[in-house]
Amino acid sequence: MTQTITVIRGDGIGPEIMDAALYVLDAMRVGLQYEEMDAGMVALEKHGELLPAATMDSIRKNRVALKSPLTTPIGEGFSSINVELRKRFDLYANVRPAKSFPNTKSRFPTGVDLITVRENTEGAYIGEGQSLSEDGETALLTQKVTRRGSERIVRYAFDLARSAGRKKVTIVHKANILKSTSGLFLKVAREVAQKYPEIECNELIVDNCCMQLVMKPEQFDIIVTTNLFGDIISDLCAGLVGGLGLAPGANIGTEAAIFEAVHGTAPDIAGKGLANPCALLLAAGQMLDHIGQPQNATRLREAIVATLEAKDSLTPDLGGTGNTMSFAKAIATRI
């Protein structure tokens, strides 16, 4: 059976890494058909808007999108196209795995295998109540945390622990200072945790969590937290295991899910064939899990690891002399 997904090739290095990712997916014969849609600068040039209605309709219809990074031009309405997509489809769970891979020159070449589950729609990123006083001396911002938002993200984290056979969920907060917002998140998280007695649960204040992550990342399994903390923690975790070229992310909602690399359009290397395709490929792995093809997701991840182990055709960010497509081809031969 085939399934149609929306494919957004994006800006900068986007088309190069998407070509590479689709090359590998095609080699795997996972039964996917691609509906290619525009977003970002390409869409602005072709259709006069950053997020054309046809692209939104395609995601709504197919419910699954694989997306390359997009450039948000300054002064074009949205604060970020990605934030806008998350809002429009209510993609409330941002799921970012960080895993040690061989030959990445990272600080933790072994021992890290954790997932950050970040609330993706509320907290400090709601874009409301931002103001600067006339004298330019005082800035304000509104944060919003709801019981519903907290409950569904914590439940998502515990359900993920159950389905992925993970043992522990760490609730990360700052309820000692942010008593209303983080306080509500923690209270609800504790209530939800009680419904999953078989999963170990602990709590950490965000600053301590950052220190623990740098010193002993192997103690973490799944981290669940609010939007701003999750944004920072997930990048910290990407840094532990080798940087942006290996960091995937999934944005999950009830009506749609968008899978992407954590990194941006990398204008400094765009068009040179130097971009590492692994982050998008690992996101494609998350997508395969999501659409009920866990064996293929594992096949893909194992082929990536085998290629890294063999140091075969790796891109320059990993110390290799290969290029985007040679790396993808080396992965495809190990599928």
Give the catalytic positions in this structure: 125, 174, 207, 231
Instruction: Tell me how far, at minimum, the Cβ of 272 lies from ligand NAI, in Å.
Output: 10
- The angle subtended at Cα 231 by Cα 181 and Cα 327, nearest 5°, is 160
Instruction: Tell me how far, at minimum, the Cβ of 169 lies from ligand NAI, in Å.
Output: 26
Nearer to ligand NAI, 88 or 144 (CB): 88
**SS3 of 194, please?**
coil
Instruction: Tell me how far, at minimum, the Cβ of 18 lies from ligand NAI, in Å.
Output: 11
Nearest residue to the partner ligand NAI, using Cβ:
264
What is the dihedral sign for C-alpha 46, 244, 291, 28? positive
Tokens of 125: 């990123």
Give the x/- contact pattern for ligand NAI in 308-327, rule: CB under 6 A: ---------x----------
Nearer to ligand NAI, 157 or 269 (CB): 269
* Cα–Cα distance measured from residue 247 to residue 185, given in angstroms and rounded to the nearest whole number: 26
Instruction: Tell me how far, at minimum, the Cβ of 317 lies from ligand NAI, in Å.
Output: 4
**SS3 of 205, please?**
strand
* Cα–Cα distance measured from residue 267 to residue 277, given in angstroms and rounded to the nearest whole number: 15
Q: Does 297 bind ligand NAI (CB under 6 A)?
A: no
The answer to whether 68 touches 263, Cβ cutoff 8 Å, is no
The answer to whether 150 touches 118, Cβ cutoff 8 Å, is no
The CA-based diameter of the chain, rounded to the nearest angstrom, is: 63
Nearer to ligand NAI, 71 or 226 (CB): 71
What is the dihedral sign for C-alpha 52, 56, 59, 61? negative
Instruction: Tell me how far, at minimum, the Cβ of 31 lies from ligand NAI, in Å.
Output: 26
Nearer to ligand NAI, 13 or 288 (CB): 13
DSSP 103-134: TS--S-SSS-EEEEEEE-SSBTTS--S-EE-T
CA 296 to chain centre: 19
Candidate list 64, 83, 228, 244; residue touching ligand NAI; CB under 6 A: 244
Q: Does 38 bind ligand NAI (CB under 6 A)?
A: no
Give the x/- contact pattern for ligand NAI in 256-285, rule: CB under 6 A: ----x--xxxxxxx-----xx--x------
Give the x/- contact pattern for ligand NAI in 63-82, rule: CB under 6 A: ------xxxx---------x
Residues that bind ligand NAI (CB under 6 A): 13, 69-72, 82, 244-245, 260, 263-269, 275-276, 279, 317
